[in-house]
Structure 1
């Protein structure tokens, strides 16, 4: 132990909220929310580990706020008045967080009437008078008033030299001293309070002086020396806004100075000597972890407890890596400006010794970027070819595992045997103590799952980018979220292209046949770039208000969707083949009828030939030519002609639908059946739709027509295994329900609460009568309005004149004024901020909403109106998906499989005998998915059906 005492004071309150926003909702075995408790426990664990590795503290305590009321409220009743109440599910976690602190055998200190900052100041001053150094573990700007101060007088008897105070920001792994405070505020720490008094604090509702920001406040204090002198200087200023503000705001500034002043003479509730850090006994911690079901942490504790006498080291990996030079190198943080990508520095790992060295460093770093190279883009069937890791800029490696070609006589390079590498990598890739960053990491999860590795916990740079920048364009660089685009946009670096490594066309070779040196450059660069992107993008989440949607909606969904992809769904090949034959016969028949109506044979799939037939030869009106000089024959044009009585147009529409369904589904689904599983495994993208909806590809299962007889025939081919059934759970009219809530429409709310037919209610409100026709029109209007439809668009859908359509729109807004107010406020916000936002904080950017190009502008406006509603709907079903399997597990239904997500519907496979038990669980999870983050004023209706096919489940 060092001769000089060193006290660490942990600002526990900041840890709590960081922990809460870091993890998805969790509950303990008793059903109590414990997500923040778990996050807080892991953060405190990491702090203890990190300090133990360094020249750690001799004394340590966690300081918490006792309540939201303090002596400052007596000075200023509005102090912290604007702070929202803590989230409903966080409140019951506060006492458990105190229990967690005590489980580490650490003092947990709080005092009624004072804030944690005042206790920290009092303890810090008292300790420095004893000659102790003090480190405040926080990033709170108010506490920076204390930084760099060293006790010089009023020292305790026998103390020759006072101690000094600094700060540790664990989020940035940065020490903050006097120079860092001066750089941040432009004044030394002892003057920070004066700056804060002038600029105020909107979070704590410290008034300051209106119109004076940080830069002006810093300049005034730096030039005048202190607050009083800065205020006095106003008398000598020339007439200006600043002079007026200083003169008028003097009293508020002086009051603010009292509010930001840290009270440093509180009677200490726990003696400094009682904060002595004598180690962390494992028994109380083990009991706490067991009580709350934190099994992964309990395993870590047991794995590291070599004997009952062990009291300090909480990191089992440290037993193997402590003191190794590579460990400290692996734990380094990237400098603010990263060095250019240098592929020559990457290591090709070809021995177990070097592989273990990288794994040890990764355990010490606690963050590793991971990427896999495989034999196919199909992650369900792909063979693992290699793994790359990165621990910092240019600090990356590639571990080849399947190189050398398929020819048994081909020369294979030196490689770690696949089975040995997998067994050695598995503890790292599954460790809760190490965060794995990836780019589209769902792919890597599935590739590694084939080898028994459950990759986690994970961050995904692609999804982080999407959650902040969906729809945004950047200086001529595409607004996509692939690695190449992100590297160009954020790093200014062009990555190696796959085609440059493997070639294209007939000359393309498998990645496993790429020479090792070249493969290392390509694969390790992917991990290196991912590490850099994660370092740059992850901190932006909090700064830009996107933490909530990433941590509580999208990130926890990654392993859920990966598992759904691995499950796949069974299809009846014979049924599909029969449908393909029927569709081929019907398209041939339609082709003959179309040629007969045209008076000649032509290629129906050729827009040019079709346009010439319709408008030149047959003389139909309404043809319009594009820039290419050929007629448009899109669906809208053909539907318009069909409405005018053009039989050939309707038959072309029918022909197109059958041809598309045959090629896209009945033929393609047969080709997509995995020979190993006998099932179809679609690939879901979490960044495929700008509003946050999942999209499906290879094959796309989301565009099968729902209401047509042909679409139902295709759904009949989706079947369960023998003895099972498919269960479909569908949100009923969720977007209309959300519109009723978000637009605050009492009439629609009442209808949903009463369980009425919403379209009939709308018809009654709009047309004064309800029949088949008015209900159908009301249904069209209900949905069309939410998509910002124009008078011409509605006229086209209802088959009426634009003036009549406008009258319907006007009546709708008169009957439901909240919807018009919502549309106006949404558009105004998007024009001002550039983005819309869902109830869960998902942003969608609309850079063209102020475009001078009318079509672009109006298109953006229509999308912006719908994005908050459709995006909130997407967020809700995602939250349901994340919670679904834990709820089914808890009900003893862990064998139920969630297979598909299609728009507002979830599809499950389960034994027929479990339907009555599983149905209510599924319905409850879906109905409560918005809670506790958002409490809707309308119920979420769920319709559930089951049967021997997907169609029968409806």
Structure 2
């Protein structure tokens, strides 16, 4: 008899909303292909999440019966009721479509039922199965966070069975109180709330102007939807009353659309959902076929234990022959135990801290993470430090926990000064490697306590150097710990909001009880240690050693030091500039109103579009899905080029408004009160090509080609007795293009120190004039960025045919550029990534997309990535070598403050300029050596002054 049939155990059915898993897997995990070239990124993610669910439920002694419910098609019976139902939903991504059948195969490989029916949505099947099971006395858990399914929560049948939900994203159960907290009503009233508020995702119309809060307030006051609509005519006069009356029938239709169908015919009997072990052969065959070698490695050879019918715990599994599986390219995961938050130690005594430090010295490597009060490392207060020496071998050392109230009792913890004094020899020891996730932050936090941590490695940078461009979502997000843990470890980490809450209820980490703080903080260190082991073993195998060891890893302490240095800004100058900009903005606004013939909100795209295209009648207005005209920069630039003064003034107004809010106002707020300087934060993974990016404040986007942008740079100043020195690579990307594309005329021009744009003008037009040089400059950069004929036409002010003729002539004069572009695209289409001269790989997931816009966007990026990436690699190598070179020259007072695009900014005593300039120039000029020898010299322009604007 299986466990599911044991009379003493009440049946418990789990219904998994598989469709939600699919899209979560697609968007959160990187794209992959199997040995046959089929996209399987979502399949892999879905498989790991289903595996983890089964494991977690098994450990919790969860279901006796389980089924996965999927949407079979995009159309359901609701479309017959309302043809525009779900009309706003975009079609699924093209590379996801072929994965849908494979996801069904994955479900069946686990020997789990996979239920889907024509004209029915997964929600309706879930509701029908839930109703049938509870009537038989079974409990039902719906694995989903879908708000529509929350209508079923708390339903109990006469047979004794009840329904709840499990949100695996938050690892939280959803019962009646949780539904009430979220929507303000009981689950049985939720359908009425949804009918009033509508749903933009499913295009359920609802009642215009009524949101969740108003909807729940109305239902609580009147009881149900029909009562609200009946009472509407007698309500106090308001826009809401008018909308309730006008859209009453839409509300009734919406109520039908959100109502779950609970009487569907059941395609499989409930008894067929019984869990009775997972046969390994079908699962192993599926994993092997699609090259999921790390999962195959975790799969045990046994047939599963009847006592634990969903026993898929990889920690209990024995190794399979993963190395011989088709398509195997990576080493399999070590057989670690799963993350166990209850194994971590809270270190509250000096003796226990000494023991951990001794073990870390013996291990020669330790993962570390700091917990603080802020994301700003220069202002954050230290709450504690976590360490990890292996899987589940982690601890948290609380240092600053407790209330600021002098009368409040503080938890037992080691005095901060004493603990840091003990940790300092470990964290500074050259014999012990310190591993972190974005460890630059921890370096700076600890540096403020007198600890110079090193040597270090960073899992975030390891991930970036291995997988840049592979992940979905934002670049930084793809290499964040939560994403990496899910991708590589199949583990969902605790989140900060899980521990500290959100909004007004959020508490500082220092106020979190030590038991919860230990689970969260030590988990970070534990996961970091595991990620380091997983990612580090791939570096040599995948050819990333040079870029990681020679470019990015050495830069970590350098950039951390630059962040601590900061740069002085003149608050009074900024304040005066801000006031000046404010006056100009007001003047522009007045002129715009005069041109429009009426006042309106210039910052409103809707109002601006109506003025330009409806009232003033200009051509070219296009409305988007929202029904309003587009007034983005390209639209306004097009109108301005046609002589529309108002468009030109709005562009001026926007630029000044942005400069004022982003810089002249924000920079004053960014001044650190302790140092009197501005400390930007650099990201080594913020740009796909490897360039550094800058935030809080962003100093990379200050415009340098406009007078107003240059004036903002004048606010960055040197301390008394010092000057700022700006060293800028001259036309480095064109120089690299000449080398990488092997273009003799350009290489000759650079070798002779010629004006490269003049040389291009001579080659293209046979003469050098002001106009031909300007056009040549535009062409030089545009073609390197893979510009289209239409794009170049816009830049040159010509038609597309003439622009194409220019491109053809350029390629005729410089055939190496065309060969470079063709060869680059062929390589990227074949292997999926480009490479810099130093081996930095950038992946392009859409390079073979059937969607033309996606494919062309990937092609443009792929053409430029090797050049721009090599440029980024070179300046990084220069930065890593700069301070040692300056110290060797006895220039101990020269400090490197900023890196912006191809420029480095230093602060130094006025008397050191003559000695420092040739050192800085030499280090930058020779930065590629000895790894890469270039056919062209790297030119460096150096300037000095009391301000950055004067030096640049």
Provide the residue aligned with 1:514 in structure 2. Answer: 512
1:110-509 equivalence runs, <5 A: 336-473=334-471, 480-509=478-507
What is the aligned partner in structure 1 of residue 663 from structure 2? 665
Q: Give the Cα–Cα distance (whole angstroms) in 2 for the partners of residues 344 and 629 of structure 1.
A: 54
- Give the equivalent residue in structure 2 for 1:688: 686
- Matched residue of 2:478: which SS? coil
Superposed, 1:517-556 pairs within 5 Å as: 517-556=515-554
Which residue number in structure 2 is paired with residue 777 of structure 1?
A: 775
**1:222-259 Cα distance to aligned partner (Å, 9 max, x none):** xxxxxxxxxxxxxxxxxxxxxxxxxxxxxxxxxxxxxx
Could you tell me how far apart the structure 2 residues matched to 1:919 and 1:500 are? Answer: 52
Deviation at 1:945, TM superposition (A): 0.4
Tell me if the contact between 2:475 and 2:685 (Cα under 8 Å) persists in the aligned partners: no
Is residue 838–residue 873 contact of structure 2 (8 Å, CA) maintained in 1?
A: yes
Whether the aligned pair in 1 keeps the contact of 2:894 and 2:907 (CA below 8 Å) is yes
1:741 is matched with: 739
Cα deviations by residue, 1:792-828 (Å, 9 ceiling, x for unpaired) = 0000001111100000000000000000000000000
Aligned residue number for residue 863 of structure 1: 861
RMSD: 1.7
CA distance in 1, matches of 2:379, 2:893: 23
Runs of 4 or more above 3 Å deviation: 474-479
Structure 2: how far apart are the matches of 1:708 and 1:494? 47
Give secondary structure in 2 for the equivalent of 1:605: coil
Question: Counterparts of 1:691 and 1:483 in 2: how far apart (Å)?
Answer: 21
The Cα shift of 1:617 comes to 1.2
Q: Distance in 1 between matches of 2:484 and 2:598?
A: 52
Task: State whether structure 2 residue 755 is matched by structure 1 residue 760.
Answer: no
2-structure distance, mates of 1:809, 1:524: 58
Say whether the 8 Å CA contact 2:729–2:903 is kept in structure 1: yes
User: 600, 623, 626: which is aligned to 1:625?
Assistant: 623
1:640 to 633, 638, 641: 638
Counterpart residue number, 1:804: 802
What is residue 821 of structure 2 aligned with on the other side?
823
SS in 2 for 1:952: helix
Give unmatched runs, 5+ long, in structure 1. Answer: 1-183, 185-213, 217-332
Q: Deviations over 1:74-122 (max 9, x none)?
A: xxxxxxxxxxxxxxxxxxxxxxxxxxxxxxxxxxxxxxxxxxxxxxxxx
Shift of 1:634: 0.9
Shift in CA distance, 334/362, structure 1 to aligned 2, threshold 3 Å: farther
Answer whether contact 2:333 2:534 (CA < 8 A) is retained: no
SS across alignment from 1:951: helix
Give the Cα separation in 1 of the matches to 2:509 and 2:474.
Answer: 32
* Structure-2 separation of matches of 1:941 and 1:709: 25
How big is the shift at 1:366? 1.0
Preserved CA contact (<8 Å) 2:472 2:478: no
- For 2:332 and 2:355, the matched residues in 1 are separated by 20
Q: Which residue of 2 aligns with 1:708?
A: 706
Cα deviation, residue 340, structure 1? 1.2
* Alpha-carbon distance between aligned partners in 2 of 1:720 and 1:930, rounded to the nearest angstrom: 30
Q: Pick closer, same or farther for the CA change 1:215–1:700 going to 2, 3 Å.
A: closer
Shift of 1:636: 0.7
User: How far off its partner does 1:635 sit?
Assistant: 0.7
* Distance of 2:482 and 2:895 partners within structure 1: 35
2: CA distance, partners of 1:612 / 1:386:
56
Q: Distance in 2 between matches of 1:851 and 1:619?
A: 39
Provide, for residues 881-940 of structure 1, a one-character-per-residue CA deviation record: whole Å limited to 9, x for no partner: 000000000000021000000000000000011100000000000000000000000000
TM-score by length of 1: 0.65
Contact 1:565–1:684 (CA under 8 A) maintained in structure 2: yes
* Residue 201 (structure 1) aligns with: none
In the alignment, what sits opposite 2:610? 612
Task: Identify which range, 444-453 or 594-603, moves more after superposition.
Answer: 594-603
Pair 1:582–1:337, CA change in 2 (3 A):
same
Cα offset for 1:578? 0.3
Deviation at 1:477, TM superposition (A): 12
Q: Deviations over 1:588-609 (max 9, x none)?
A: 1111111111122211111111
What is the distance in 1 between the residues matched to 2:387 and 2:332?
16
The verdict on how the C-alpha distance between 1:335 and 1:817 changes in structure 2, with shifts beyond 3 A counting, is closer
Match of 1:849? Answer: 847
C-alpha spacing 1:445/1:479, structure 2 compared with 1 (3 Å) = closer
581 and 475 in structure 1: CA distance in 2 versus 1, 3 angstrom threshold: closer
| 1:836 positional shift | 0.3
How far apart, CA to CA, are the structure 2 residues paired with 1:604 and 1:465?
A: 44
CA contact (8 A) 1:470 1:845 kept: yes
Report Cα offsets for 1:46-98 as digits up to 9, x if no partner. Answer: xxxxxxxxxxxxxxxxxxxxxxxxxxxxxxxxxxxxxxxxxxxxxxxxxxxxx
Name the counterpart of 1:675.
673
Say if 2:583 is the partner of 1:557.
no
SS of the equivalent of 2:600 reads coil
Structure 2 residue 881 is matched with structure 1 residue 888 = no
User: In structure 2, the residue corresponding to 1:612 is in which secondary structure?
Assistant: helix
CA drift of 1:473 comes to 2.7
Do the aligned residues in 2 keep the contact of 1:367 with 1:437 (CA within 8 Å)? Answer: yes
Cα drift, residue 426 of structure 1 = 0.5
- The superposition leaves residues 509-534 of structure 1 with CA deviations (integer Å, 9 ceiling, x where unpaired) of 11101111111111001001100100
Separation of aligned partners in 2, 1:215 and 1:485: 28
CA contact (8 A) 2:613 2:621 kept: yes
Deviation at 1:479, TM superposition (A): 6.8
Cα distance in structure 2, aligned partners of 1:743 and 1:406: 63
| Alpha-carbon offset, residue 503 of structure 1 | 1.3
Seen in structure 2, the aligned counterparts of structure 1 residues 335 and 657 have a Cα distance that, compared at 3 Å, is: closer
Contact 1:373–1:385 (CA<8 Å) still a contact in 2? yes
Structure 2: give runs of 5+ residues left out of the alignment.
1-296, 298-322, 326-330
Q: Hey, what's the Cα distance between the residues in 1 that align with 2:724 and 2:473?
A: 48
How far apart are 1:733 and its partner, in Å?
0.1
* 8 Å contact from structure 1 (residues 577, 667) kept in 2: yes
Give SS of 1:410's match. coil
Question: Matches of 1:364 and 1:428 in 2, distance apart?
Answer: 11
Post-superposition shift, 1:337? 2.1
CA displacement at 1:752 relative to structure 2: 0.2
Deviation at 1:475, TM superposition (A): 12
Equivalent-residue separation in structure 2 for 1:666 and 1:476 (angstroms): 28
Tell me, yes or no, if the aligned pair for 1:471 and 1:479 is still in contact at 8 Å: no
Displacement of 1:478 in angstroms is 9.6
The corresponding residue for 1:3 is: none
Counterpart of 1:721 in structure 2 is 719
1:613 Cα deviation (Å)?
Answer: 1.2
- Report how far residue 585 of structure 1 moved: 0.9
How far apart are residue 539 of structure 1 and its match? 0.7
1:602 match: secondary structure: coil
C-alpha distance in 2 between matches for 1:853 and 1:457 = 46
Q: CA deviation at 1:474?
A: 6.8
Contact residue 705 and residue 711 of structure 1 kept, 8 A: yes
For 1:654, the equivalent position in structure 2 comes to: 652
Alignment partner, residue 834 of structure 2: 836
Equivalenced residues, count: 626
Q: Mean alpha-carbon deviation: is it higher for 467-476 or for 540-549?
A: 467-476
Q: Is the 8 A contact 2:365 2:432 kept in 1?
A: yes
